[in-house]
Amino acid sequence: MASLLTTFFSHYLLLFLLLIFAIVLPSRCANATQKEFLSSYHTVDVRSLLPSDACSSSKALLEGSDEQRLNLVHQHGPCSPLHRKKNLSHEQILSNDQSRVDWLHQRISSSTSKQQDKLLDSLGSATIPARSGNSLSTGNYIVSIGIGTPKRDFSVVFDTGSDVTWIQCKPCVSHCYPQQDPLFDPLQSSTYANISCKSPYCSQRRCSGSGCLYSVQYGDGSYTVGFYAQDTLTLTPSNVIPNFRFGCGENNSGLFGLAAGLLGLGRAMTSLVSQSYQMYGGVFSYCIPPSASSMGYLSFGSSSAMTNVKYTPMLAKPNTPSFYYLNLVAISVGGQQLSIPPSVFSTAGTIIDSGTVITRLPPDAYSALRTAFKQNMAGYKSAPGGSLLDTCYDFTGNKSITIPTVELHFDGSVTAKMDASGILYFISISQACLAFAGNNDTNRMAILGNTQQRTFNVVYDVSKKMIGFSPGGC
Instruction: Note the helical H segments in 221-341.
Output: 272-275, 277-280
Tell how strand 436-438 and strand 359-361 pair up: parallel
> What's the CA gap between 428 and 219, in Å, rounded?
29
Identify the sign of the CA torsion 106, 107, 109, 110. Answer: positive
Q: Please confirm, yes or no, whether 419 is among the known catalytic residues.
A: no
Please report, for residues 162, 221, 315, 355, 371, the alpha-carbon distance to residue 262 in angstroms, rounded to integers and kept in the order given. 9, 16, 24, 11, 38
Bridge partners of 381?
394
Give CA 57 to chain center in angstroms.
Answer: 18
Q: Is the peptide bond before 404 cis (omega within 30 degrees of 0)?
A: no
Q: Cβ(177)–Cβ(282) under 8 Å?
A: no
Strands 457-461 and 466-470: antiparallel
Catalytic residue of the set 163, 181, 220, 353: 353
353 assigned to active site: yes
**What phi and psi values does residue 333 have, to the nearest 5 degrees?**
-130, 125
Report the SS3 class of residue 83: coil
Cβ atoms of residues 473 and 287 within 8 Å: yes
Question: Rounded to whole angstroms, how far apart are CA atoms 117 and 140?
Answer: 28
Measured over the CA atoms of residue 256, residue 260, residue 265 and residue 269, the dihedral's sign is positive
Task: Compute the distance between CA of residue 353 and CA of residue 448 in angstroms, rounded to an integer.
Answer: 6
Q: Which amino acid is at 277?
A: Y
Q: Is the bond into 78 cis (omega within 30 degrees of 0)?
A: no
Long-range contacts of 102-105 (CB under 8 A, 24+ apart): 102/219, 103/135, 103/218, 103/219, 103/220, 104/161, 104/219, 104/323, 104/351, 104/353, 104/356, 104/445, 104/447, 105/444, 105/445
- Spot the catalytic one: 159, 220, 231, 419: 159
Cα 248 from Cα 164, distance rounded (Å): 10
The sheet with strand 406-410 has its strands ordered as 336-337, 328-333, 406-410, 414-417
CA-based end-to-end distance of the chain: 72
User: Which residues are registered as beta bridge partners of 394?
Assistant: 381
- What span, in angstroms and rounded, lies between the C-alpha atoms of 133 and 175? 14
Show which residues are catalytic: 159, 353
